[in-house]
Amino acid sequence: MSPANVRRWSWLHTWSSLVCTVFMLLLCLTGLPLIWRHEIGHLLGNDIEAPPLAAALVSTPPPSLDRVIAAGRARYPHKVMMYMSQEPDEPALWFLTMGEHATDPDFKSVAIDARTARFVGEPPIEGGGVMQFIFHLHVDLFAGVWGKLFLGAMGMLLLTAIVSGVVLYAPFMRKQDFGTVRRGRTARLKWLDLHNLLGIVTLVWGLVVGATGVVNTLADVLLQVWQATEIAAMTTPYAGQPAPAAFAPVEAAVRNAERAAPGMRVGFVAFPGTPFASPHHYGVYMHGDAPLTSRLYAPVLVDARTAAVTDRRDLPWYLTALLLSQPLHFGDYGGAGMKAVWTLLDVATLVVLGSGLYLWLRRGRAAARPARVPARAAPALAREGEAE
């Protein structure tokens, strides 16, 4: 690589890194507890589990979904249903989301036993307390959609820094063995080698987490695109019609959706008027049972007045990418082992970011000092500068 190209790539790497470093340090620090958020929630007692079922009720048919909803509404009789969902690993509970209206941001969440239609508890929103604070700091800096988009831009700069760092490291590797950390010279040179080594070790992880993080910041935008295109096309026959005054039983709507998507199970139900349905439909979102397909949803629209299925289609590619990115970003695919690897790589990335900032600050101080270099030391310093 010519010296001019080295200077250009070095400038790109330096400034793309510097602009995003503070925010990447924040994201890596807040990301550490979020990797283990389920385990932390369990330790804090935030998990809600289904109570043991009495022996006399084991063979009793489960109550209808409308009875489950009635149990939740008995807790909040003046609120309307927004969503109901089941976790893949907890089929004995239905989680009901209710609000003052179909898009109420101050909703309430209620857990109802799917086997008895009895109230179990109210899960804290997003873990509550400290974990909720960390979550918002990591996801949107408490700035909503604009905070997410800003962090997405920082993620793009991170990806630029990673790629430019690889381009700069490739010619350096021709002169040194892989993993070389030169000791016994200057502290800055040792940290430079360590920065380069850890940067290459975390290369793939950094690209994966950075790319999935950028995709996740676009979630709100992608959902709006989907609603304006796919959902609008699915509900075109109902355009201009008034919303129904009464709704069909949810049990009938869900059973018809299950028949329209054989081999799949219900993930969540969106009620009329919510962003995942329409004023005239229930949105029944089905998913598979495998680790991968359990993350992917197939929407089935059901007429809210008649409980008849009106349309079913697969999600577009960009929402599929989003749903696959969300668990991969936090290492949710491989259990505790994968989370442990994610944690170690996160810590290594913190060292890469911190050492990069240290190297830039040391270089700035060295440039600001008057040059008083003994003649015999000049050749050694020249060779060190070439190594950088």
pLDDT in tens, 312-358: 988 899 999 999 898 889 888 767 888 999 999 999 899 888 888 88
pLDDT one-digit tens code per residue, 288-300: 887 777 888 999 9
How far out from the chain centre does Cα 282 lie? 26
Quickly state the pLDDT bin for 368 (edges 50, 70, 90): low
Q: What is the model's pLDDT at position 150?
A: 96
Radius of gyration of the chain (CA): 27
Q: What is the model's pLDDT at position 214?
A: 95
Residue 38 lies in a domain: no
**Residues 323, 295: contact at Cβ < 8 Å?**
yes
Residue 79 has pLDDT above 90, yes or no: yes
**Residues 73, 81: contact at Cβ < 8 Å?**
yes
The helix/strand/coil state of 267 is strand
Q: Where are the alpha helices (DSSP H) in the chain?
A: 3-35, 37-43, 65-75, 129-139, 144-173, 187-201, 203-217, 219-226, 232-234, 250-260, 317-329, 335-368, 378-387
Residue 370 has pLDDT above 60, yes or no: no
- Determine how many CB atoms are found less than 10 A away from the CB of residue 167: 17
Q: What is the model's pLDDT at position 326?
A: 87
Residue 84 lies in a domain: yes
Q: How far apart are CA 28 and CA 51, in angstroms?
A: 37
Residue 85 lies in a domain: yes
The CATH number of residue 104's host domain is 3.10.450
The CA angle 120-122-126, to the nearest 5 degrees, is 135
- Domain of residue 61: give its range: 47-123
Provide φ and ψ at 332, rounded to 5°: -85, 0
Number of structural domains the chain divides into: 1
Q: What is the model's pLDDT at position 128?
A: 55
Residue 115 lies in a domain: yes
Residue 78 lies in a domain: yes
Mean pLDDT over the full length of the chain: 84
Q: What is the model's pLDDT at position 127?
A: 47
Residue 56 lies in a domain: yes
Query: How would DSSP label each residue in 182-227?
Result: --SS-HHHHHHHHHHHHHHHTHHHHHHHHHHHHHHHTHHHHHHHHI
Give every CB contact of residue 111 below 8 A, 6+ residues apart in sequence: 48, 93, 94, 95, 96, 119, 120, 121, 122, 123
Residue 235 lies in a domain: no
Residue 76 lies in a domain: yes
Give every CB contact of residue 272 below 8 A, 6+ residues apart in sequence: 102, 243, 244, 247, 278, 279, 280, 281, 282, 304
Instruction: State the DSSP code for 278.
Output: B
Weakest mean pLDDT among 60-74, 136-150, 325-339: 325-339
